[in-house]
Amino acid sequence: MLTLSADGGKNGVIWATAPLMGDANLEPVPSVIRAYDAAQFEPTTANSNGVPRMRLLWQLTGFTFSKFCPPVVADGRLLVPTYDGRVDVYVLNQPAH
């Protein structure tokens, strides 16, 4: 699941949640959330392993993947729905001026 956020057309971030292992269609599985630099996001350009070239900014594990529920960014907060019966909320750092 993907979400894009930006600060008025700059500092774009692509947020992604994905299962780490297992089949989320069959059972609850561990998950990861990752933040990528939108300016360095080239999904059509892959390395030798077929992985798209993207600049990873941040990642976190520790929750159960909630399929069909993308992360949401609002008012400087990242909201991640989980299959653990909660919504995890992260406060985003403001860029230095």
Per the domain annotation, does 74 fall within a domain? yes
* Range of the structural domain that residue 61 is part of: 2-91
Report CA 89 to chain centroid distance, whole Å: 13
Whether residue 61 lies inside any domain: the answer is yes
Per-residue pLDDT for the chain (97 aa), expressed as one digit of tens each?
A: 889 998 887 889 999 999 998 898 899 999 999 998 988 776 666 667 666 678 889 999 988 998 888 999 998 899 999 988 899 999 977 655 5
pLDDT value of position 40: 78
Instruction: Determine, yes or no, domain membership for 28.
Output: yes
Question: What is the number of domains present in the chain?
Answer: 1
Task: Please tell me the pTM assigned to this model.
Answer: 0.80
Q: What is residue 17's predicted lDDT score, i.e. its pLDDT? A: 92
pLDDT at 72: 94
Please check whether residue 97 lies inside any domain of the structure: no
- DSSP class of residue 69 equals -
Q: Is residue 96 a part of any domain in this protein?
A: no
Cβ atoms 43, 77 nearer than 8 A: no
Give the contacts of 26 (CB within 8 A, at least 6 positions apart): none
Torsion of CA 53, 57, 62, 68, to 10 degrees: -60
Question: Hey, which residues does 2 pair with through a beta bridge?
Answer: 16
